[in-house]
Structure 1
């Protein structure tokens, strides 16, 4: 879902399927336990948001999850992690089959995360930004006891404001740098990225989380980019002014979240590196996946609790991941 314009600037195709799954079913898709399947790749930062939010809210038993492999071809993400190469619930080899089931010949991006209506096998939505908001608001009836308020009403304006700048300059900013095809376009994206990271460092120097004193949707969105920074974006996307581990405030903030249940236990560094370094053949034509960096530093003390804050507000941490959803041994930071 991307292209470079004549100036060499990367632009993201944001024409997503805007259908929503809502409590009242106004788009034809009411919230129903067991009816839908969230399809993700652990490699993808946009999908990683949905994995984290689903886990924090305790929706595992009402919204099943299918996991594709870390790489894909020009056609689609594939379910090559499953024993027979097919998703065990949807019975398909490629997520594009669910797109085509609803929109024959679908010409826009075949992306994850996507939510599929299991009875029809049709994709409902791939609007990653709306998906996590709706998991917080529309699926509330099915949240676990103690689920945190990730998008509380009194903080939404602040959350939306910071999400806008983080998306433009950081989440998408690393891609604008990495996929730029002109020097000027690359340097423009590079400076926007690090200018924003510096501003975020200033903000987080005095408070534990981005908005308020608890984890919110804003923290989830920033985290999934930060956790990929040293492993991928610093080298592969030429975002190399400084590593995350060389930015003291953001590094401590990211480790704090990583060590919070529901965050680090969703991260598969092996899949992350395989995706970027193998799929982006125009950037890395050899397909060689770097052996580093050393990831054990993600588990070092962060000292962020000195700033106070209550990670889950009045709620509680999520229980450990279901055995079937554990990141494979050796793929995390431990």
Structure 2
């Protein structure tokens, strides 16, 4: 784990000394939007038109934020239009990296060795964390976006004019946007980022605060999903996929590694059924790699797990019947 300072790489863990032991996530720096006609989006500059073959996606199979973008790329039928490179799950002294000779973990666009080189190609004096996902614009030779929440919304609709894109799927329908946004806000703060707030806390009080907020929200989600099929009612939306990538990692990693150990997701009847239902959506299983997920967290985060021993378990089976078909 490290960061760039004025374009130079530094192997440096998060500094929580200034926040009383609280983990604070750095905001994404590249916030341009790909739009159907290249007009400006909600943030950034214009000029990023949705075109087949123009964009390249950098991801990790271990990272929940990058996982969102892979799901949308798959379900929306964008694989033929947006190429992808996958970093190695080990993120140690050089940060996210590629492995020459390993076809599954090479930079197919620039042939770089490290992900931080992608950032400095776009901004030679960049200062900040080097994260995935990254959406690279081959035409402007720069990073279009490194904010996963924005990228999935681009994938949801900006490319709908291209051939073979699944225009029947809209994960952010206008009629449900207010409800989706409200759910996203709580889930992001207390669940998606909440597990990190607990796991990266360096003070007992900050850990307990994050832990309590996390399980308060999981209890709230359990109650909500006991009476309705999805987070916004009967329609599968981006809110569900944003939650899914945390839930699918929870029992394998966050429960033990991040000390989020009041309950496993498998101990929540509604949440565990909901998790299995989303996992069983056609195409999603190919985006989930539990081995890389476990290896990344337990090997890369040496401040938490200095011996880098990767647990063998738990036994996970997301293929059993989910029993949620009767919910409206």
Note the alpha carbon deviations across 1:95-143, whole angstroms, 9 max, x for none: 2222111210311111100011234543221011111011112222136
Note the alpha carbon deviations across 1:204-229, whole angstroms, 9 max, x for none: 00111111312110000000000000
| Dislocated runs of 4+, deviation >6 Å | none
Compare 146-155 and 159-168 and name the one that shifted more. 146-155
Compare 253-262 and 89-98 and name the one that shifted more. 89-98
Q: Where do 5+ consecutive residues of structure 2 fail to align?
A: 4-13, 40-45
- Residues 196 and 258 of structure 2 are in contact (CA less than 8 Å); yes or no, is this contact kept in structure 1? yes
Question: 2: distance between equivalents of 1:146 and 1:115?
Answer: 21
Please, what is the CA RMSD of the aligned residues? 1.7
- Tell me, yes or no, if structure 1 residue 68 matches structure 2 residue 87: yes
**Partner residue, 1:42:** 61
**Partner residue, 2:156:** 136
Equivalences for 1:312-331 in 2 at 5 Å? Answer: none
Note the alpha carbon deviations across 1:211-258, whole angstroms, 9 max, x for none: 131211000000000000000000000000001111111011101111
**Partner residue, 1:122:** 142
**Number of residue equivalences:** 307
SS in 2 for 1:307: coil
SS in 2 for 1:278: helix
Note the alpha carbon deviations across 1:287-325, whole angstroms, 9 max, x for none: 000000112x211111011214xxxxxxxxxxxxxxxxx
Task: Pick the aligned partner of 2:24 from 2, 6, 11.
Answer: 11
**Partner residue, 2:127:** 107
Task: Pick the aligned partner of 1:278 from 292, 299, 314.
Answer: 299
- Residues 115 and 123 of structure 1 are in contact (CA less than 8 Å); yes or no, is this contact kept in structure 2? yes
Question: 1: distance between equivalents of 2:98 and 2:73?
Answer: 20
Equivalences for 1:140-289 in 2 at 5 Å? Answer: 140-142=160-162, 144-145=165-166, 147-289=168-310
Compare 36-45 and 253-262 and name the one that shifted more. 253-262
SS in 2 for 1:124: strand
Q: Calculate the TM-score normalised by the size of structure 1.
A: 0.87
Q: Where do 5+ consecutive residues of structure 1 fail to align?
A: 309-334
**Partner residue, 1:32:** 51
Compare 239-248 and 27-36 and name the one that shifted more. 27-36
**Partner residue, 2:9:** none
Counterparts in 2 of 1:147 and 1:42: CA distance versus 1, 3 Å:
farther
Q: Calculate the TM-score normalised by the size of structure 2.
A: 0.89
1:28 deviates by 2.2
- Residues 298 and 305 of structure 2 are in contact (CA less than 8 Å); yes or no, is this contact kept in structure 1? yes
